[in-house]
Amino acid sequence: MRPDRRPNQLRRLPIGPLLLVVAGMTVGCTGTNHPERVAKTTTGSVRAKLSGVEQKRDDLVQFRARTPIDVIVESFAGDVVVIADPSTEVTTVQLVREAHHGYLRGFEPVEALEYLSWDSRLDPGPGPVETLRIETSYSGPEPWYMRAHLRIETPRLDRVRVRTTRGLVSVRNNTGPVDIETNLGDVTIATRHPLRDAARILVSEGSVDYRVPGGSTGEFDLAVVDGSIQLRVTEGRLRFTDGPNDEQTVNATLDGGRNPVLIRTTEGDIRVAVVEEPLSFGPWR
């Protein structure tokens, strides 16, 4: 009976190839070829293409202006955020292109971003106030899937006029009048500076927050459809005037002001706050 020689055969296997296999496994666990890293990168790319949502951030545009400035925005669609921050030294404009084509549209959202164009310029005014004008447009197919989101920061802000669709509008720390129109998005006006100028805010399918400090005045004309009106006045005196005053309509004056504050919305709420710190608020007003 011949002895089994299989253990001896295993012992005679060359060790060089085994070391190469182990080394290859070690290298594969780090660096750009790490299996987990490759999987995450591939998954993210596939997810973006399957979801049909693409974004592209344009280069930041800067202006050095005599402050305060007026801001006028004419946008075909998208969010508009305008912030006055005295700690900044220049006025900056950031645009983010966005396409929402939906599932299984392949590279169409990426290609659509190239049809979006925009322009910004700083025009001198007759006085010390200059005007920042921004326009966005889209020349491609299916414009209802496209957005041009704008963020504007400046040391001091006077008047703001915004026309957009399918986007929110947020204005912080303005010192002058506001004129806003949008749909499918909320509007927030919040400032630490007393406002005594006209305000006109027209929204469809969105809520409005108008938050000002004591010392502000106004002749309020508020109306909402499919929503409610909420008032919080801890600074100053609000007096109701002739006309309907209920959950959906308010006519009142703040500290005897004559500057018109006209706010209209549908399928949303109107919230007016005259408080000590107008910028301190969260998702629940």
The verdict on 162 and 54 lying in the same domain is yes
Residue 219 banded pLDDT, cuts 50, 70, 90: very high
pTM: predicted TM-score of the whole model, two decimal places: 0.82
**Is residue 207 assigned to a domain?**
yes
> For 154-210, what is each residue's pLDDT tens digit?
999 999 999 999 999 999 999 999 999 999 999 999 999 999 999 999 999 999 999
Residue 125 banded pLDDT, cuts 50, 70, 90: confident
The verdict on 140 and 205 lying in the same domain is no
The verdict on 72 and 142 lying in the same domain is yes
Angle at 118 between CA 126 and CA 61, to 5 degrees: 70
Quote the CA–CA distance of 278 and 172 in Å, as a whole number. Answer: 10
DSSP 35-99: HHHHHHHHHHHHHHHHHTEEEEEPPPEEE--PSSEEEEEE-SSS-EEEEE-TT-SSEEEEEEEEE
The verdict on 149 and 120 lying in the same domain is yes
> Mean pLDDT score of the chain, rounded to an integer?
86
The verdict on 95 and 133 lying in the same domain is yes
Among 168, 197, 216, residue at a domain's last position:
168
Is pLDDT above 90 for 47? no
Of the listed ranges 74-78, 117-121, 224-228, 240-244, the one predicted with least confidence:
240-244
**Is residue 146 assigned to a domain?**
yes
Mean pLDDT of 46-61: 82
- What is the count of structural domains for the chain? 2
Among 109, 138, 168, residue at a domain's last position:
168
The verdict on 148 and 198 lying in the same domain is no
Residue 45 banded pLDDT, cuts 50, 70, 90: low
Pairing between β-strand 249-254 and β-strand 218-225 as defined by DSSP bridges = antiparallel
The pLDDT value given to residue 127:
76
Q: Which domain holds residue 135?
A: 50-168
Is pLDDT above 70 for 285? no
Residue 67 banded pLDDT, cuts 50, 70, 90: confident
pLDDT greater at residue 198 or residue 129:
198
**Is residue 16 assigned to a domain?**
no
The pLDDT value given to residue 91:
97
The verdict on 139 and 191 lying in the same domain is no
The verdict on 162 and 195 lying in the same domain is no
**Is residue 4 assigned to a domain?**
no
The pLDDT value given to residue 223:
98
**Is residue 177 assigned to a domain?**
no
Mean pLDDT of 253-259: 97
The verdict on 141 and 68 lying in the same domain is yes
Is pLDDT above 50 for 44? no
The pLDDT value given to residue 78:
98
The pLDDT value given to residue 171:
98
The pLDDT value given to residue 153:
98
**Is residue 224 assigned to a domain?**
yes
The pLDDT value given to residue 27:
41
> For 22-39, what is each residue's pLDDT tens digit?
444 444 444 444 443 433
The verdict on 63 and 147 lying in the same domain is yes
Phi-psi region of 165 (alpha: psi -120 to 50; beta: other; left: phi over 0): beta
Among 168, 194, 221, residue at a domain's last position:
168
The verdict on 251 and 203 lying in the same domain is yes
**Is residue 20 assigned to a domain?**
no
Is pLDDT above 90 for 145? yes
**Is residue 202 assigned to a domain?**
yes
Of the listed ranges 37-51, 86-100, 174-188, the one predicted with least confidence:
37-51
The verdict on 90 and 133 lying in the same domain is yes
> For 2-29, what is each residue's pLDDT tens digit?
444 444 443 444 545 444 444 444 444 4
